[in-house]
Amino acid sequence: MNGRFEGSYLGASDRISPAAVMECKICWTPYDPAEGDEMRQVLPGTPFVTLPGDWKCPTCDAPKEQFMVREDPGAVPDPLAAWIADRKDALEADFREVWNAKMRDVPLVNKALRVQAVGFTAHEGRPLGVLVAPWFMNLVLLPAPGEDWSALTPGAKEIIAFPSGDYEFLHNRREMTGGYKACSLFSPMSDFATQMQAVEVAQAVMVALFDPENRAETDRAAEIRAAREAETIPPADDPAPTRRKVITAGLADESE
């Protein structure tokens, strides 16, 4: 039985209640446990997480993994989740101000995009997510409740470990956000035609970041390249991918 899904809580089934109404992100068909799925003989009252692993969207045949939470009337209020939502809103407001005051007329910005914080969740008690803007996409880590990052030195570097590998974050501060740490994923944003496309990549980053298989992939690539260099064999034209490139599906500009 497969309980994982995309788009909400990084697929953590224990974060939704049996009453959660899910929605296919491909065709927007809802699954309401109060109604079940008559087409596939799923009885009313069947929670989404207990659906058979081979259950698919009744409209477009998308698998369960393509569903996200539309609403969850049975969810227990989570003080940390509410605090993270407030910090996410402050981050968005901060960078909307930057967009309107300084960046709107810069030639390299992608005006098809807007400022949006994507996939923010608690990581070791700190809000972690992706900030999409018309001129960049960054992985952003914010301080935990009661933690003071106001003394961070803008531009200072820090390596932070995740299951998929180690990533370089830059320290920074903003008026509404306060201190924060950011890892550059894309800049500029010319690869993206729509906001939806940028958001889907941001969501994929948040999933890939916690996938240990990405660490194995980049470690193997580094080991192969090191062996070749030790044997004085010229390196291949396509260098071994960095971990940041792996989690962005190879789209990140390695020259940044």
Looking at the structure, tell me whether residues 29 and 115 fall in a common domain: no
Residue 96 lies in a domain: yes
Looking at the structure, tell me whether residues 26 and 100 fall in a common domain: no
Indicate the pLDDT class of residue 248, thresholds 50, 70 and 90. Answer: low
> In 3D, which of 249, 250, 241, 209 has the Cα closest to residue 222?
241
CA-CA-CA-CA dihedral for 114, 119, 120, 121, to nearest 10: 180
For 74-106, the pLDDT digits (tens) are: 776 677 888 898 999 999 999 999 999 999 999
Query: Which domain covers residue 122, as residue numbers?
Result: 79-208
Domain ends where: 192, 208, 224? 208
CA 36, 38, 39, 40 torsion: positive or negative? positive
CATH number for the domain that contains residue 63: 2.20.28.10
Distance CA 51, CA 57 (A): 11
Cis peptide before 212 (omega within 30 of 0): no
Looking at the structure, tell me whether residues 67 and 83 fall in a common domain: no
Pair 127, 142: CB distance under 8 Å: yes
CATH number for the domain that contains residue 119: 3.30.1460.40
Distance CA 122, CA 84 (A): 8
Indicate the pLDDT class of residue 65, thresholds 50, 70 and 90. Answer: confident
For 146-174, the pLDDT digits (tens) are: 999 999 999 999 999 999 999 999 999 99
Structural domains counted in the chain:
2
Residue 218 lies in a domain: no
- Say what the pTM is: 0.65
pLDDT at 3 over 90: no
For 175-214, the pLDDT digits (tens) are: 889 999 999 999 999 999 999 999 999 989 998 998 888 8
Task: Say what the pLDDT of residue 223 is.
Answer: 54
